[in-house]
Amino acid sequence: MKGKVDLEGCDEKCDGHQLTSDARHSGKVIEVEGLTVVRSGQTVIQNASFVVHAGDYIGMVGPNGGGKTTILKAVLGVIPFVSGRVRLFGHDLRHFKDWGRIAYLSQNAIAFDEQFPLSVRELVSLGRLTRKRMGRPLGREDRKTVEGTLKYMGISDLAKKRIGQLSGGQKQRVVLAKALVRDPSILILDEPVSGVDSQTQERFYKLLSDLNLERKMTILMVSHDLAAVFCRMSHMICVNRLVRTSPITDHFDPNPILKETYGEHFQFAYHQHQCKGEFKDG
């Protein structure tokens, strides 16, 4: 990922959907260029540009109301933007169809009613449905994938339980399993760890790190947990109407960019060596 959109070798032929080859984009899976979003007459995102590369693990941070959810929804085509351009896997958003490659966990994804009628297995199985196969029963391969994912997420023993009976951390794993069961290449999560205890958070972060490292999944996560972002992730995107991006390296001082995002008074004490042991990776 780079702070600015970088379209090497791109000339007038790179207009819109003509730019369709993944190879030409050399691993760029999300490209945002000059994006401006207006909601209820207010400019919520202004001229944002960034690139996400395959394999990145990105923390999106910024104050409440800064526009994090808005920018994700604009990138996913859920809300319109007034100017700018978005490409997914090299395809202009307007022509992109391969939505199975992108999983999105919305903010409050675990806010199920206690009476929610589905079991864990049933809910996760819904993740296998595509528009084409809506209404048809799952095949053997689908069922195998569902069971494999339940196992990977450590929730096989909960398969028959109703969602409403689960703890916050268990629900978190279930909604993540539903997202993963389609084997996406990009996982986008909007504040997935709020409302659970710190140990559950750590286990969740560990799972995400494994997905990133072992399955090479690209992850973009909105989080208020700056320590987790700096200890675990490869890049950060700061959002407060304006959007700033940076790789997270060993000698990286996040404070200048955080001050731009949160205000001059903001100070974040962070030392790379403190990360060791902060999360129990066992």
64 makes contact, choosing from Mg ion, ligand ADP, none, with CB < 5 to 8 Å by partner type, with ligand ADP
Identify the burial level of 12 via C-beta atoms within 10 angstroms of its C-beta, where 0-12 means exposed, 13-18 middle and 19 or more buried. Answer: exposed
Q: How far is the CB of 249 from Mg ion (least distance, A)?
A: 27
Closest among 167, 204, 178 to 120, alpha carbons compared: 178
Strand, helix or coil for residue 35: strand
Cβ distance to ligand ADP smaller for residue 65 or 154: 65
Q: For residues 152 and 262, which CB has a smaller minimum distance to ligand ADP in the complex? A: 262
| CB 124 within 8 Å of CB 181 | yes
Q: Which is nearer to ligand ADP, 46 or 209 (CB)?
A: 46
Task: Name the residue nearer to ligand ADP (CB basis): 107 or 185.
Answer: 107
Q: Which stretch binds ligand ADP (CB under 6 A): 36-44, 83-91, 195-203, 228-236?
A: 36-44
Closest to Mg ion by CB, 123 or 221: 221
The answer to the question of residue 39 lying near ligand ADP (CB under 6 A) is: yes
Dihedral (C-alpha) 114, 115, 119, 123: value to the nearest 10 degrees?
Answer: -80
CB-nearer residue toward Mg ion: 90 or 192: 192
First to last CA, the chain: 29
**Residue 223 engages ligand ADP in binding (rule: CB under 6 A):** no
192 binds ligand ADP (CB under 6 A): no
Tokens of 126: 């819904």
Rounded Cα gap, residues 248 and 238, in angstroms: 12
Residues in contact with ligand ADP, shown as a per-residue x/- string from 68 to 107 under the rule CB under 6 A: xxx-------------------------------------
Q: Is residue 223 near Mg ion by the rule CB under 5 A? A: no
Complete DSSP assignment for 174-220: HHHHHHHTT--SEEEEESTTTTS-HHHHHHHHHHHHHHHHHS--EEE
Q: Out of 69, 125, 212, 218, which residue is the one contacting Mg ion (CB under 5 A)?
A: 69
Rounded least distance, CB 229 to ligand ADP, Å: 15
> Which of 13, 18, 179 is CA-nearest to residue 110?
179
Least distance from ligand ADP to the Cβ atom of residue 105, Å: 14
41: contact with ligand ADP by CB under 6 A: no
Residue 78 CB, nearest approach to ligand ADP (Å): 11
Residue written as token pair 């903010």 = 107
Q: Residues with Cβ < 8 Å from 94, sequence gap 6 or more?
A: 16, 17
Residues in the chain: 282
Q: Which does 67 bind (CB under 5 to 8 A by kind): ligand ADP, Mg ion, none?
A: ligand ADP
Query: Would you put residue 161 in left (φ > 0), alpha (ψ -120 to 50) or beta?
Result: beta
x/- contact string, 43-62, with ligand ADP (CB under 6 A)? -x-----------------x
Query: Closest by alpha carbon to 61, among 225, 266, 187?
Result: 225
Query: Cβ closer to ligand ADP: 65 or 139?
Result: 65
Question: Rounded to an integer, what distance in angstroms lies between the CA atom of residue 148 and that of residue 111?
Answer: 25
- Residues of this chain that bind ligand ADP (CB under 6 A): 39-40, 44, 62, 64-70
- Residues of this chain that bind Mg ion (CB under 5 A): 68-69, 107
